[in-house]
Amino acid sequence: MVFVLNVPFYDRDIPSAVAQILSEMRSGASRAQNFRISATGAHGLIEARKSPAFNAVIQDFYINLPDGMPVVWVGRLRGHKQMRRCYGPDFFKELIVATANTPINHFFCGGKEGVAEELQAFCRTRLRNEHITGTYSPPFRSMTDQEMEELGRRISKAGADIIWIGLSTPKQEAFAHRLAGYVKAHYIITVGAAFDFHTGRIKQAPRWMQSIGMEWFFRLLTEPRRLYRRYFEIVPKFIFLNIKEFFYFYLSKRHIK
């Protein structure tokens, strides 16, 4: 684990994360634990800086996967050379494939009306996993306690072991945190736009752009009206805060010496 802007991040790779989850489930981890996992990056970190309430939510997650290359670069500078990007859509795909021939059940919660159902069909036909036991598209407004309770019962009835949340940050993390109080599952995992990427609703950046940390720029070009405010805030703030933290860390070490 490595801390980036005071938030703990997973410091290995997707195969390691998938293997850990499978191992924990084989060892009989209790459903009541509701381990929460997020795939987040610079956006989540800046939101955590702006909101103490959201910071408390993200700090409470079992694992925060580094969804973007900038977080990985910071982790490697801190000495965690084995750290790799754990991109939400790729992590989703790898875990769905890894559990295809197991009794592990999945539930999809997120996206616009019909997206979760399309993702279920994608998993069954392309990833050969038949263990998708339910889907749900949450309303854009905040759900009432009664609605959350009903959703919890629906998920429990479906026998879900892993609940996937495909919304946006910080909404999805807050949703997962709240849902944990109404349901029992092994894991609740937030993966952002993975639902839209795998159903073809949103085009993914080329791999070479992802590898150099420029996926945000590709998405900005494809959805400028929706994303320009977000990225013109996130990118400079993330760079500034990490430079500031790096110099503080460096000077503190020199002072100790």
93-139 per-position pLDDT tens digit: 999 999 999 999 999 999 888 999 999 999 999 999 999 999 999 99
The residue ranking higher by pLDDT, 83 or 78, is 83
Distance, in Å, from the CA atom of 208 to the CA atom of 205, rounded to the nearest integer, reads 8
pLDDT band of residue 243 (cuts 50, 70, 90) is confident
Close Cβ partners of 209 (under 8 Å, ≥ 6 residues apart): 215, 217, 218
Q: What is the largest CA-CA distance in the chain?
A: 59
Residue 9 has φ and ψ, to the nearest 5°, of -125, 150
Distance, in Å, from the CA atom of 49 to the CA atom of 6, rounded to the nearest integer, reads 9
Instruction: Establish if 10 belongs to a structural domain.
Output: yes
CATH of the domain at 166: 3.40.50
Instruction: Establish if 161 belongs to a structural domain.
Output: yes
SS (H, E, C) 103-153: CCCEEEEECCCCHHHHHHHHHHHCCCCCCEEEEECCCCCCCCHHHHHHHHH
> For residue 94, what are the domain limits?
2-207
Instruction: Establish if 246 belongs to a structural domain.
Output: no
Q: Do 188 and 178 contact (CB within 8 A), yes or no?
A: no
Q: Is residue 4 within a helix (H) or strand (E), and if so which, with residue range? A: strand 2-4
Instruction: Establish if 11 belongs to a structural domain.
Output: yes
Distance, in Å, from the CA atom of 4 to the CA atom of 1, rounded to the nearest integer, reads 10
Instruction: Establish if 224 belongs to a structural domain.
Output: no
Q: Is residue 188 within a helix (H) or strand (E), and if so which, with residue range? A: strand 187-190
Number of residues written out for the chain: 257
Instruction: Establish if 214 belongs to a structural domain.
Output: no
pLDDT digits (tens, 9 = 90+) for 134-182: 999 999 889 999 999 999 999 999 999 999 999 999 999 999 999 999 9
For position 215, what pLDDT does the model report? Answer: 86
Instruction: Establish if 247 belongs to a structural domain.
Output: no
Domain count, the chain: 1
Q: Model's pTM, two decimal places?
A: 0.91
Q: Do 39 and 168 contact (CB within 8 A), yes or no?
A: no
Instruction: Establish if 81 belongs to a structural domain.
Output: yes
